[in-house]
Amino acid sequence: MNKRAIGVKRMIEITNLKKNFGPNEVLKGINLKVNKGDIISIIGPSGSGKTTLLRCLNYLEKPDEGIITIGEVSINARKVHKKDIYTLRKKSAMVFQSYNLFQHKTALQNVMEGLIVVQKKNIKEAQEIATELLRKVGLEHKTKAFPSHLSGGQQQRVGIARALALNPEVILFDEPTSALDPELVGEVLSVIAKIAKEGKTMIIVTHELNFAREISDRIIFMDNGVIVEEGSPKEIFVEQKEERTKQFLKRMVPELDYSI
């Protein structure tokens, strides 16, 4: 909480973000501010718009309305240029539910790709950075392996290393462990927790409520295209004010009942 003291830098600001898919209003005017170094977890029922919100942040999905600011880059959905989108994307990196590694590249090449193509680093430098990051996620022995020869947990850790390589201002995680076999979830969560401690700004969409509670500075509860409630883990998991939050948590973690 002290992070919000004076002198803290604002990293992300979302103003009145709206997104429709046809007649389906998926985001109904989202406002959100994130400070540098904050770990934010977004929770909420399926279809509430969590993924869409994350995808709007890097314009994988084009919002219908709203202003997105990351660092010093600001885009108004009403007047976007392709160039702005590329600039905005360089501010963030994304870790996907289904990993989405480049299938024709080795673990090392996956991590190097952005360094070489986007940041124009030379091969030697890119290799050093990528090797170091794979070591960090515990995969120094798999640098030459192709994604199809890695387990889900290993692929996701490569995905995290690929995101880190770009040294982005913020890392977006969309349910990074949802596609994993239960016994592989732990290895990925512990890598994420490790990065969280290093002060990276992160926004994590997750159904792992215990994990969210442990590592987050702030929890956002979304339902039906709006942010229903946000606050510290304690405020959301123990002292929630909104009925919808209570209902959701009751469904997700019946053992929390005692605290309601």
Ligand X SMILES: Nc1ncnc2c1ncn2[C@@H]1O[C@H](COP(=O)(O)OP(=O)(O)OP(=O)(O)O)[C@@H](O)[C@H]1O
Task: Give the list of residues 6+ apart from residue 159 with CB closer than 8 angstroms, or none.
Answer: 95, 96, 99, 100, 101, 110, 176
Q: Which pair of structure tokens corresponds to residue 67?
A: 């202003």
- Among ligand X, Mg ion, another protein, none, what does residue 148 contact (CB within 5–8 Å per kind)? another protein
Residue 101 contact, options ligand X, another protein, Mg ion, none, Cβ 5-8 Å cut-off depending on partner type: another protein
Q: Considering CB distances under 5 to 8 angstroms, the limit depending on partner class, which of ligand X, Mg ion, another protein, none binds residue 46?
A: ligand X
CA-CA-CA-CA torsion sign (28, 85, 78, 12): positive
Cα separation, 95 vs 163, whole angstroms: 7
Q: Are 165 and 130 in contact (CB under 8 A)?
A: yes
Residues of this chain that interact with another protein (CB under 8 A) are 58, 60, 86, 89-90, 92-94, 96, 98-106, 113-114, 117-119, 146-149, 159, 162, 166
Please say which residue, 52 or 127, places its beta carbon nearer to ligand X: 52
Binding partner at 176 among another protein, ligand X, Mg ion, none, C-beta below 5 to 8 Å by kind: none
Give the span between the Cα atoms of 193 and 212, in whole angstroms. Answer: 10
Chain centroid to CA 245: how far?
Answer: 21
Binding-site ranges for ligand X (CB under 6 A): 21, 24, 26, 44, 46-52
Residue 94 binds which entry of another protein, ligand X, Mg ion, none, CB below 5-8 Å type-dependent: another protein
Please name the amino acid found at residue 97.
Q
- Does position 51 interact with Mg ion (CB under 5 A)? The reply is yes
Nearest residue (CB) to another protein, 173 versus 237: 173
52 touches Mg ion (CB under 5 A):
no
What is the CA angle 39-80-166, rounded to 5? 40
Which amino acid, 100?
Answer: N
The answer to whether residue 206 forms part of the interface with Mg ion (CB under 5 A) is: no
CA 228 to chain centre: 19
Residue 101 CB, nearest approach to another protein (Å) = 7
Q: Which residue is nearest to ligand X (CB)?
A: 51
State the residues that interact with Mg ion by CB under 5 A: 51
